[in-house]
Amino acid sequence: MKTMLFLAIILLNTMAMGQNKAYKKLTEEEKHIIIDKGTEAPFTGKYEKHKGDGVYTCKQCGQELYKSSTKFESHCGWPSFDDEIPGAITRVPDPDGRRTEIVCSNCGGHLGHVFQGEHYTPKNTRHCVNSVSIDFKPVEIKISPVSQRETAYFASGCFWGTQFHFHRQNGVESTEVGYMGGHTENPSYQDVCTGSTGHAETIKVVFDPQKVSFRELAILFFETHDPAQVDRQGPDVGTQYRSVVFYTSPQQKEIIEELISILEAKGVKVATTLEKESTFYAAETYHQDYYQKKGGTPYCHIYQKKF
């Protein structure tokens, strides 16, 4: 089967180099990458740091390969995606015997390689793609009025880890870490750490409901921490690390209650509590976007599918 697959890909590549008018005429550089399976120099590609809403397509045949929502920053030097459009990518054992090559399923053009187990995103997959192999097709962006934005507040242990996951979620427009649920005005981090203020380390999430629903965010909340732990998350112990959702509407409350019921039906002893939103106090500047500034990944917020 592997031999047949290799032959099929070679045939497709041969067609691409011929006079097939369905394929774009490639430059010498593009041929080197797409046909001869070369690799562009790291941190030089057009799409390495590219952002925008749309679809990334195959440079050679135009097939849609990746949605922009699956692109993420891996700092590896090439565009990175954690998922492909179904049926768009073919995986092939690399001749080096160690890696897995990825090619366009339509024309066989070389894209790069796929890696797993690196924990960059919850999907734990990284498509490392040459910018030369792809084009970008933007979509018309319909911007919702600011009045239609919604806000949610989640507490699931150390707010660094919580923010790490929500910051990457498509449809989330901003995140801010802070303190909620206590009785002391304008608490500092040191105050909250004493456990005497009653606050929980909380993340404020502003999102566009046309792009992501509160239910999707709530599922992300439950799937990126252990909701069965009481007043702690991993090695962080104290009431400030409790699992709680501060709901802003009856609808948000109902959704959390529904998800808790689903988890409990699966045998999870959910410790997550529901509290009505109260005053949110922003945390100190050095706490904001901690992992984005410092690098690394959360030590106690590991994605685990639960729904």
Catalytic residues: 128, 158
CB–CB of 180/199 below 8 Å? yes
CB within 8 Å of 83: residues ≥ 6 apart: 66, 67, 70, 123, 125, 127
CB–CB of 231/241 below 8 Å? yes
In degrees and rounded to multiples of 5, residue 26 shows phi and psi of -95, 150
Q: How many residues does the chain have?
A: 307
Q: Which of 39-47's residues contact partners 24+ apart within 8 Å by CB, and which partners?
A: 39/112, 39/130, 40/78, 40/130, 40/131, 40/132, 41/77, 42/76, 42/77, 42/78, 43/77, 44/131, 45/78, 45/79, 45/130, 45/131, 45/132, 46/131, 47/79, 47/129, 47/131, 47/134, 47/136
Chain position carrying tokens 């909620």: 180
d(CA 147, CA 252): 18
Structure letter (DSSP) for residue 132: G
In degrees and rounded to multiples of 5, residue 297 shows phi and psi of -135, 160
- For residue 183, what are the CA distances in angstroms to 55, 143, 196? 48, 38, 9
d(CA 281, CA 233): 21
- For residue 286, what are the CA distances in angstroms to 34, 154, 174, 248? 44, 20, 17, 27
The C-alpha torsion from 16 through 20 and 21 to 27, rounded to 10°, is 30
